[in-house]
Amino acid sequence: MKPLAEYQQIVLNQLQQLESERKAGDLYEPIWYLLSRGGKRLRPVLTLIAADFFDGDLKKAEKPALGIELFHNFTLLQDDIMDEAPIRRGNPTVHIKWDLNSALLSGDVVFVQAFGLVTSCDVPYLRAVLDLFNETAIQVCEGQRFDLNFEQEEKVQIASYIEMIKLKTAVLVGCALKLGAILADADPKEAQLLYDFGLNLGIAFQIQDDILDVFGDEQQFGKQIGGDILANKKTYLLLKALEEANKSQEAELYHWMRSEDVDPNRKVQAVTTIFADLKVKEQAEKVMWSYYDLALDCLSRIEVNQSKKDYLIHFAQTLIKRTY
């Protein structure tokens, strides 16, 4: 296994090569703005790590890994449009910097490029890779649809929320890992265990993301703090607060959710205060760690050298222990 920075550099090299081949014009400028906004490139790195984990040829995984990164950025672009988010990674989102139509059209190109890169593998792997990527892409869209539906529903069960983030976020983490495993000729059962490791880690990661949206530092988090509150997103924090609230707190939460043309700072502060009073952050963290433990259990059942498992455990710890 290599230092994380080496896997990241492989992804950056692939991005630079792709950029050197890019076409000029208004269609492509938003794409490279999106891809150049930084980020740790964790999903493509996971594809490379998984290939190494099963002693595969990293060269076979480089372009498919880049495809995972492009697909991830495509989902971010879609998410920002649907959430009407003004900031991503500390910069204006694509639809704000350009316009909605430009963002949609450029996003379509990113998706097509992602598909081409993910499937640019040797023929013996193509069927398994196609099935994995197509299923994942559909599941991500299903998760996004659930998320949109939740915005119109006042009563959402926490179990439904977990299913939504599994589809919207976690399946791509699992896909990234299983992709690398497939390209490394891993035993299908062990490739699935690595997928399940990623799936549970992805759920934990998203719950942590929801916590950081309320209690994080905007400069470190790279997104607008309180954005989920302003968008009335059904996060674990909100759903647990509605479950635990007394009548007065419940009425106030619904007041802020239903009110229009309110002062954004007042809304974020008021809802955050209720979250703090009900200690929903602590309850969310408990659930987050339970999924983290499930992830480690899946990893423990893979028959590889313990040092490789330790590498992924350290990676998982770094991912989950993001600071506020």
For residues 166-193, average pLDDT = 98
Domains of the chain: 4-320 (1.10.600.10)
Closest CA to 52 of 173, 193, 181, 195: 181
Supply the pTM of this predicted model. 0.91
Residue with tokens 């090569």: 17
Q: How confident is the model at residue 220 (pLDDT cuts 50, 70, 90)?
A: low
* pLDDT score of 323 more than 60: no
For residues 104 and 19, what is the distance between their CA atoms, to the nearest angstrom? Answer: 20
For residues 71 and 107, what is the distance between their CA atoms, to the nearest angstrom? Answer: 9
**Opening angle at CA 217, ends 70 and 157, nearest 5:** 70
CB 184, CB 56: distance < 8 Å: yes
Q: Is 232 helix (H, G, I), strand (E, B) or coil?
A: coil
For residues 41 and 68, what is the distance between their CA atoms, to the nearest angstrom? Answer: 9
For residues 15 and 285, what is the distance between their CA atoms, to the nearest angstrom? Answer: 35
Q: How confident is the model at residue 219 (pLDDT cuts 50, 70, 90)?
A: low
* pLDDT score of 218 more than 60: no
pLDDT tens track for 118-149: 999 999 999 999 999 999 999 999 999 998 89
For residues 113 and 71, what is the distance between their CA atoms, to the nearest angstrom? Answer: 8
Q: Is 87 helix (H, G, I), strand (E, B) or coil?
A: strand
Record the tokens describing residue 20, joined without a space.
Answer: 């050197």
Q: Give φ, ψ of 92 to 5 degrees.
A: -60, 140
> Burial letters for 22-46: b for 16+ Cβ neighbours within 10 Å, e otherwise?
eeeeeeebbbebbbebeeebbbbbb
Q: Give φ, ψ of 295 to 5 degrees.
A: -60, -45
Closest CA to 170 of 145, 150, 200: 200
**Residue 272 pLDDT:** 97
* pLDDT score of 223 more than 80: no
H or E, element range at 92: strand 91-92
For residues 76 and 107, what is the distance between their CA atoms, to the nearest angstrom? Answer: 10
pLDDT tens track for 9-65: 999 999 999 988 878 788 989 888 988 887 789 999 999 999 999 999 999 999 999
DSSP state letters, 96-133: HHS-HHHHHHHHHHHHHHHHHHHT-S-HHHHHHHHHHH
Q: Is 233 helix (H, G, I), strand (E, B) or coil?
A: coil
**Inter-axis angle of helices 280-300 and 236-244, nearest 10:** 130
* pLDDT score of 173 more than 60: yes
70 dihedral zone (left: phi>0; alpha: psi -120 to 50; beta) = alpha
Q: How confident is the model at residue 224 (pLDDT cuts 50, 70, 90)?
A: low
**Which residues pair with residue 320 across a beta bridge?**
none
CB 225, CB 147: distance < 8 Å: no
Count of C-beta atoms within a 10 Å radius of residue 245? 18
Mean pLDDT over each residue of the chain, to the nearest integer: 93
